[in-house]
Amino acid sequence: MRLSKSAVLTYEQCPYNYKLDYILDFRHQRPEPEEGSPLKKGTEIHEIFENYYKLPEAKIIKEPYEENIFDLLMSMKNAHKYENHMENFAAFNVAQIEGHEGKGLKIMPKGIFGYIPQTEMRVFNEELNCLGYIDRVDMEENGMRVIDYKSSKRDKPAKHYLFELALYAYMYEQETGQKVYDAGIFFSNTGKLRTLVIEEQDKLGAIKKLQDTRKAIELKIFPKNPDFLCGWCDNRGMCGPDLL
């Protein structure tokens, strides 16, 4: 059984919701997300960030860097709806490229010309039978930095996302042979980058969580897990009003 980071996190939040989405395949039977919904917003912002570095103009940005990156971002489809996110992403990229010590960033390639990070990298680990897509990988002083983008209103410490960051770090290392030193989350709504060093025990913990989840799914353990998030669940109508 192939798993992904999203599948494991769905099961952790609510095993019954996992059954509906991944076994009964409800997630592929739903209509397209509505305009203005968090899912629609997150998808569009991710697409802009992913496609930015595919633009030929991104390789020849001139000073003032931040202003010109922002202008190029705003020329892209749907970017006008997320101006604040585009401003923060432009500043984040300049900080990454120039290696601003004050922001805790120490990226090895200095200077903006020709620097293109790895983006939307597909990683698959056959032993774990796990597939993932890493938003961004940068080279920094001590090794590679794995970064995931989040467009949520608030930012949280990177340790809140330890499972997915450690899992992606492990899968990246296994696929490329390059050492991942740290990983982080870039919150485009606030412009904050939260990072943490990935230790071997973190990777082992992520692997164990993946394996434990697979075992529970194989045993068909799918209890309902009602909490305050049920009101935002796409499958909330399947559980009855007592759980809403």
Q: Where are the domains of the chain?
A: 3-236
185 forms beta bridges with 148, 194
First-to-last alpha carbon distance for the chain, in angstroms, is: 31
In this structure, are residues 146 and 165 in contact, taking their beta carbons and an 8 Å threshold?
A: yes
Comparing C-alpha atoms, which of 7, 49, 5, 34 is closest to residue 189? 49
Q: Domain 3-236 maps to which CATH number in 3.40.50, 3.30.60, 3.30.530, 3.90.320?
A: 3.90.320
pLDDT of residue 111: 44
Query: Distance between CA atoms of 52 and 119, rounded to whole angstroms?
Result: 10
pLDDT for res 35? 84
Report whether 117 contacts 184 (CB < 8 A).
no
Tell me: cis bond preceding 109? Omega within 30 of 0 counts.
no
Model confidence over 147-186: pLDDT tens digits?
999 999 889 999 999 999 999 999 999 999 999 999 999 9
From CA 180, how far away is CA 138, in angstroms rounded?
10
Which token pair is 161?
A: 């996302």
Once rounded to an integer, what is the mean pLDDT over residues 82-101?
84
What's the rounded mean pLDDT across residues 92-110? Answer: 58
pLDDT (0 to 100) of residue 104: 41
pLDDT at 96 over 80: no
Vertex 137, ends 88 and 133: CA angle to 5°? 100
Q: What is the DSSP letter of 198?
A: P
**Which of helix, strand or coil describes residue 215?**
helix
d(Cα 169, Cα 9) in Å, to the nearest integer? 17
3-state secondary structure of 152: coil
Pull the structure tokens for residue 143: 């090794």
- Classify burial at 152, counting beta carbons within 10 Å of its beta carbon; exposed 0-12, middle 13-18, buried 19 or more: middle
Nearest to 52 by CA among 147, 145, 135, 124: 135
Distance of alpha carbon 55 from alpha carbon 244, whole angstroms: 45
pLDDT at 242 over 80: no
pLDDT of residue 114: 55
The reported pTM is 0.88
Per-residue pLDDT for 207 more than 70? yes
Distance CA 194, CA 183 (A): 8
Whole-number mean pLDDT of the chain?
A: 88
